[in-house]
Amino acid sequence: MKRVILCIDDEQMILTSLKSQLKRNFGKKFCYEFAENAQEGFKLVEELIHDDSVIIIIVSDWLMPGIKGDEFLIKIHETHPKIIKIMLTGMADNHAISNAQKNANLYHCINKPWTENELVDVIRSGLKKLFLL
């Protein structure tokens, strides 16, 4: 069974950064999947679940074309409440963050630009919550 960390951001450079930071810190313990928008994210979630993968963490941007990150995480939470949800953003307003906290059980919000240590610390604490570390 694959354990997956899924990252969603409309900027390829951000996804590339996340990928290298995650692989450097967590290596082959997890699989890493990436989507460039919420629609791709929904599709990936369905495919991964269908393939018996377990999505353990989603790191989602807030400001994306189409569906905003808080709305995306709320929809995911409705069907997959156990996934740890993290918002990564330089633009989210307080309403969006509180909306995600209240309706998607948002675990943490990381502001862009982030540090690798901050990202890794938040993910590690989420994994501990799931008893995976």
pLDDT of residue 133: 58
pLDDT of residue 93: 81
pLDDT of residue 91: 80
Average pLDDT over residues 113-130: 96
Class (C level, CATH) for 3-129: alpha beta
Q: Residue 60 has which token pair?
A: 């989602």
pLDDT of residue 117: 98
Cα separation, 9 vs 123, in Å, equals: 17
DSSP per position, 4-70: EEEEE-S-HHHHHHHHHHHHHHHGGGSEEEEESSHHHHHHHHHHHHHTT-EEEEEEEESS-SSS-HH
State pLDDT tens for residues 31-90: 999 999 999 999 999 999 999 999 999 999 999 999 999 999 999 999 999 999 999 988
**Domain residue limits, the chain:** 3-129
pLDDT category of residue 131 using cuts at 50, 70 and 90: confident
What is the residue type of 109?
Answer: C
